[in-house]
C-alpha cells in the first residue's frame, strides 16, 4: 500500500477583503466626512446622502435612518439641546477616539514596522530595555541584570555537570538600553491660506495631529504631545478638539507660535524636546509689545522674517530643534525656510499633502531613538 506523499508549500489566491457589515462600511465613510466637515454632523450627513444617491450605499433593509439610529445606540452621536430650545446631533468622545485611531491606521500603517515597545536611544548601559546581547559580569553590575539561564549554562561548560560550581567568572549579564522620553509640540498653521486656491490643506494637517496624538498616548505614554495653532496669534488646543479645528481669516504669526511652543517645552522635564511646524505660507504678521499687529502679506517682510530667525536661534540655544514641514514650494519661501533651519540647526521637509504624515512619523521615530543634546 502506497503512502500518500505530503506536499509542503504555499497556496496563492486572490485577495478577499474581510466582510464588513453595512454599518461598518458607512461608518468608515462617516469618519472621513466628519473630519472634513470639522465635526459638523449635519453637513457630514448631507455629504453621505449625496454619496448614497450616487453609489447606492444603502438598501431597503438598511437605510441611512437605520445608520443614524445605530450610531445613537452605539454611543457615537448624541442629541444636544441649545439654550434657545433648538437641538441637533453631535459626535461623542467615542467618535473622536475612533477618528484618531483611523488617522493612525491610515498614516502609521503605511510605515515600515520596527520592533515592538518603546523606542530606544543608542546608548548602551544601565537602562531598562533589554537588547538580547550578553557580556561577562563586571564589578558594579546590578544583580537583577544577571541572566541566570546563560550563567548556569556557562558554569556547566566551564566546570562540568559532575562538579557543578557557579563562580563570578561564570556570570553573564544582559545588556540594556535607556528608553528615551520625548516632549513634542506640534504647531499647525490655521491662516486663511490653508484653504486657498481650491486645496484643503487643513484636513491633512488635522489627520496627522490626530494620528500622532493617538500614537503617543497609546504606545509611548511617557512622551508628551502639545498641539498649538497659529494665525494672528497662537494658542494651545486639546487633543479632543482636533476634529473641530477650522481655518480662520488670519495672517501667519509664526513668531507667536514659536514663542508659545518654547514656553511649553521649558516647563517639561524630559531631556528630549522638539518642535514640529506644519505651514504652507510665509510669516506675515507679528504682534508688537503694545498690542499692535504689524502685518504684511506682500513678499517676505525683512522685519517679520528677522523676528523668525531670532526665535530659531533662541530655540537652538536652549537645545530645542525645529522641524519644518513646508507644504508650499515657492522658491523664495523655500529660501526662507532654509535660512530659518540654518539658524536653528534643525531640519526642513518640502512636501506635498500626500506624504506629510509619513514624513512626520518617520522623523518622530528617528528623533525618538536618539538623545537630543
> Given pLDDT bands bounded at 50, 70 and 90, which one contains residue 238?
very high
pLDDT at residue 178 above 80? no
The more confidently predicted of residues 80 and 339 is: 339
**How sure is the predictor about 120, in pLDDT bands with cuts at 50, 70 and 90?**
very low
Entry pTM? 0.75
Residues in a beta bridge with 176: 125, 130
Average pLDDT, the chain: 84
Residue 18 above 90 pLDDT? no
Is pLDDT of 140 > 80? no
Report residue 142's pLDDT band, with 50, 70 and 90 as the boundaries. Answer: confident
> Tens digits of per-residue pLDDT, 182-209?
999 999 999 998 887 778 889 988 998 9
Residue 75, pLDDT above cutoff 50: yes
- Percent of the chain, pLDDT > 70? 84
Most confident range, picked from 131-145, 210-224, 229-243, 324-338: 229-243
Domain boundaries, the chain: 22-91, 130-176, 182-371
DSSP-derived secondary structure letter, 243: G
The lowest-confidence range among 17-31, 164-178, 235-249, 341-355 is: 164-178
Is the per-residue pLDDT at 265 higher than 90?
yes
Strand, helix or coil for residue 347: strand
Can you tell me the distance from the alpha carbon of 353 to that of 234, in angstroms, rounded to the nearest whole number? 23
For residue 231, what is its C-alpha cell?
Answer: 494665525
pLDDT of residue 282: 87
Contact criterion met (CB below 8 Å) for 170 and 154: yes
- Please give the average per-residue pLDDT across 132-137, as a whole number: 74
Quick check: 359 pLDDT over 50? Answer: yes
Q: Is 258 within 8 Å of 315 (Cβ atoms)?
A: yes
Per the model's pLDDT, the better-predicted residue between 364 and 59 turns out to be 59
As a CATH number, domain 182-371 is 3.40.50.410
| pLDDT for res 10 | 60
Residue 125 pLDDT level (bands cut at 50, 70, 90): very low
What is the Cα–Cα distance from 210 to 100, expressed in whole angstroms?
A: 5
Read off the C-alpha cell for 303: 522685519
Q: Which residues pair with 235 in a beta bridge?
A: 229
Amino acid at each position: 500500500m502506497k503512502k500518500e506523499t505530503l506536499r509542503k508549500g504555499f497556496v496563492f489566491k486572490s485577495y478577499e477583503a474581510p466582510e464588513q457589515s453595512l454599518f461598518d462600511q458607512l461608518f468608515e465613510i462617516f469618519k472621513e466626512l466628519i473630519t472634513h466637515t470639522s465635526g459638523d454632523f449635519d453637513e457630514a450627513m448631507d455629504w453621505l446622502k449625496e454619496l448614497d444617491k450616487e453609489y447606492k450605499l444603502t438598501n431597503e433593509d438598511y437605510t441611512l435612518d437605520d445608520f443614524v439610529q445605530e450610531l445613537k445606540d452605539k454611543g457615537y452621536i448624541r442629541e444636544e439641546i441649545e439654550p434657545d430650545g433648538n437641538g441637533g446631533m453631535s459626535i461623542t468622545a467615542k467618535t473622536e477616539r475612533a477618528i484618531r485611531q483611523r488617522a493612525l491606521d491610515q498614516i502609521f500603517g503605511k510605515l515600515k514596522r520596527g520592533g515592538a515597545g518603546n523606542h530606544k536611544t543608542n546608548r548602551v548601559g544601565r537602562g531598562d530595555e533589554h537588547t538580547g546581547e550578553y557580556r561577562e559580569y563586571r564589578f558594579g553590575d546590578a544583580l537583577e541584570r544577571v541572566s541566570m539561564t546563560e550563567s548556569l549554562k556557562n558554569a556547566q561548560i566551564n566546570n562540568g555537570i559532575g562538579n557543578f560550581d557557579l563562580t563570578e567568572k561564570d556570570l553573564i549579564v544582559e545588556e540594556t538600553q535607556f528608553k528615551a522620553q520625548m516632549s513634542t509640540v506640534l504647531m499647525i498653521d490655521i491662516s486663511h491660506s490653508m484653504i486657498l486656491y481650491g486645496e484643503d490643506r487643513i484636513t491633512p494637517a488635522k489627520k496627522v495631529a490626530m494620528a500622532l496624538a493617538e500614537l503617543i498616548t497609546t504606545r509611548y505614554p511617557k512622551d508628551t504631545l502639545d498641539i498649538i495653532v497659529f494665525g494672528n496669534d497662537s494658542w494651545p488646543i486639546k487633543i479632543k478638539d482636533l476634529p473641530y479645528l477650522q481655518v480662520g481669516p488670519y495672517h501667519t504669526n509664526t513668531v507667536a507660535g514659536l514663542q508659545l511652543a518654547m514656553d511649553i517645552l521649558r516647563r517639561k522635564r524630559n531631556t528630549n524636546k522638539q518642535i514640529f511646524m506644519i505651514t504652507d505660507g510665509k510669516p506675515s504678521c507679528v504682534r508688537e509689545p503694545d498690542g499692535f499687529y504689524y502685518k504684511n502679506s506682500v513678499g517676505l517682510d525683512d522685519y517679520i522674517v528677522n523676528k523668525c530667525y531670532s526665535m530659531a536661534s533662541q530655540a537652538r540655544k536652549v537645545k530645542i530643534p525645529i522641524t519644518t514641514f513646508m507644504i508650499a514650494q515657492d522658491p523664495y519661501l523655500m529660501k526662507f525656510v532654509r535660512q530659518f533651519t540654518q539658524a536653528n540647526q534643525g531640519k526642513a521637509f518640502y512636501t506635498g499633502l500626500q506624504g506629510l504624515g509619513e514624513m512626520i512619523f518617520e522623523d518622530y521615530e528617528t528623533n525618538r531613538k536618539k538623545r537630543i543634546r
